[in-house]
Amino acid sequence: MSRHEQPRGDDNVRHRRQRREGAVSGTRKIEAIPLVHKKEERASSTPFAAARRRRQPIRWTPLVFMVLSFASLIVYLFVSAPPPLPERAVEDSGAMLSVAQLIQVCADENAAVRAMYTKEIVGFGKQVGLSFSEQWKQADENSGPLPALFLRETAAHLERSSVPLGLFLGSSNPINKANLFRGIQREAFRRIKETREPEFFYDESTERHTAMFPDVAVAKPCVSCHNEHEDSTKRDWKLGDVMGATTWSYPKESVPLREAMRVVAALRQSYLEAYAQYVRKAQEFENAPAVGERWPRDGYYLPRVDRFAARAAKRSSAQTLNSLISAALE
């Protein structure tokens, strides 16, 4: 073949292979320089990349446990009546959450459910003739719990659960004097009103890690109730005001993922028990609303507990799942 002729396909491939192997006459073997793509550069610091560089087998056991943990999370967050958690799957995952991360997840859950109750049950309920009052538990009272009292019932059920999560709604101008902030919580609430940001601290008086989240007036029923209540010490509340703070506490500085899941499950069960308590009371009203598939926005109705649970999960589960996974992977 003359030097002006192009090598045939097979010869060309063989020629390139010989050059790579350093077999071309008059040359020495040249070490190949690996081509690293940008995507590989970004991943070079990950555990998987390090394992590939060392050419050592990846330890799959922790990864399997982590996957099973997240699968259990999905079941617990999106299924109304989840089966028991696989014991080893979550306990051996090694994932830990700080108490601040755990409380943030609980606060987000609470905010979603309470907003739904305030708007969908109390707000639309009042428009169709349902009543809500502070005396709702009295036998002759045909009313349901106001949003703050719904939270109080949730906290009461939570206190009776097996998890040591504390929940309390306080204020500097409460209707009930028992909800007045004192000590370190009073100082923290003063800062919250100025910054509108949560406060995290360790309360030595209770020996608990504590977090306080601003409770902002986002619905007219909250504002009108506090302005019109005979025991209110402040009657000029308006939408957007920081009316109080939802206060959470937990005795541990960090928790394993399994324990965090138990806490979230207990919180969900607590607000469902609070709603179920209201539904049972409503069925004793002189003019009892129909309980079933429909909501107050459709008329004089209340949704069943499972319908309430499904909508609450729809509002909060995706965010809760993302928060728990993100915290566990940090």
pLDDT tens digits, 207-220:
999 999 999 887 77
Residues sharing a CB contact under 8 Å with residue 222, sequence separation 6 or more, in sequence order: 118, 147, 148, 237, 243
**Two structure tokens written together for 311:** 């909508």
Q: What is the DSSP string of 265-330?
A: HHHHHHHHHHHHHHHHHHTTSTTPPEEES--GGGSSEEE-HHHHHHHHHHHHHHHHHHHHHHHHH-
pLDDT score of 110: 93
DSSP-derived 3-state class of residue 202 = strand
Which residues is 180 bridged to in the sheet? 171
pLDDT score of 329: 72
Residues sharing a CB contact under 8 Å with residue 239, sequence separation 6 or more, in sequence order: 217, 218, 219, 220, 223
Quickly list H helices, the chain. 9-20, 38-43, 47-54, 60-78, 87-91, 99-116, 124-127, 147-159, 183-195, 220-228, 257-282, 305-329
Q: In what order do the strands lie in the sheet with 242-250?
A: 166-170, 242-250, 208-216, 199-203
DSSP-derived 3-state class of residue 85 = coil
Phi, psi of 248 (to 5 degrees): -115, 150
The one-letter amino acid code at 12 reads N
pLDDT score of 229: 80
Residues sharing a CB contact under 8 Å with residue 46, sequence separation 6 or more, in sequence order: none
pLDDT score of 230: 80
Contact by Cβ (8 Å): 98, 253: yes
pLDDT score of 328: 67
pLDDT tens digits for range 147-165: 889 999 999 999 999 999 9
Contact by Cβ (8 Å): 218, 264: no
Under-50 pLDDT residues of the chain: 1-7, 9, 13, 15, 19-71, 74-92
The pTM for the full model equals: 0.71
pLDDT score of 140: 92
